[in-house]
Amino acid sequence: MSTPRIAVIGAGSWGTALVKLLSGNAEQVGWWVRRDATIKHITTYGHNPDYISAAQFDVSKLAMSSDIHAVVKNADVLVIAVPSAFLKASMDQLDPSELLGKTMFSAVKGIVPETNQIVGEYLFQHWGVKENDFGVICGPCHAEEVAMERLSYLTIACQKADTAKMMSTALNGRFLKTTLSDDIYGTEYGAILKNVVAVCAGISVGLGYGDNFRAVLVSRAIQEIARFVQAVHPIDRDINEPAYLGDLLVTAYSTFSRNREFGTMVGKGYSVRAAQMEMNMVAEGYYAVKCVHEINSKFKVDMPITESTYRMLYEKMSPLMEMRLLSDRLA
Q: What is the mean pLDDT of residues 94-107?
A: 97
- Active-site hit among 20, 102, 109, 194: 194
Start-end of H helices in the chain: 13-23, 36-45, 68-73, 84-91, 119-127, 143-147, 161-171, 184-206, 211-232, 247-253, 258-267, 272-279, 284-299, 304-314, 319-330
User: What is each CA distance from 31 to 51, 79, 255, in whole angstroms?
Assistant: 15, 9, 28
Check residue 147 and give its pLDDT.
82
| Domains of the chain with bracketed CATH | 6-182 (3.40.50.720), 186-330 (1.10.1040.10)
Check residue 3 and give its pLDDT.
86
Q: Could you read off the pLDDT of 132-161 as tens digits, one per residue?
A: 999 999 999 999 998 889 999 999 999 999
Percent of all residues in the chain with a pLDDT value above 90, rounded to a whole number: 96
Q: Could you read off the pLDDT of 17-54 as tens digits, one per residue?
A: 999 999 999 999 999 999 999 999 999 999 999 999 98
* 1 pLDDT more than 70: no
Check residue 295 and give its pLDDT.
96
Q: What is the mean pLDDT of residues 65-72?
A: 98
Q: Is-catalytic flag, 194? A: yes
Percent of all residues in the chain with a pLDDT value above 70, rounded to a whole number: 99
Q: Could you read off the pLDDT of 254-306 as tens digits, one per residue?
A: 999 999 999 999 999 999 999 999 988 889 999 999 999 999 999 999 999 99
Check residue 119 and give its pLDDT.
98
Q: Indicate whether this model's pTM tops 0.85.
A: yes
Q: Which amino acid is at 164?
A: A
Phi and psi at residue 44, in whole multiples of 5°?
Answer: -80, -45
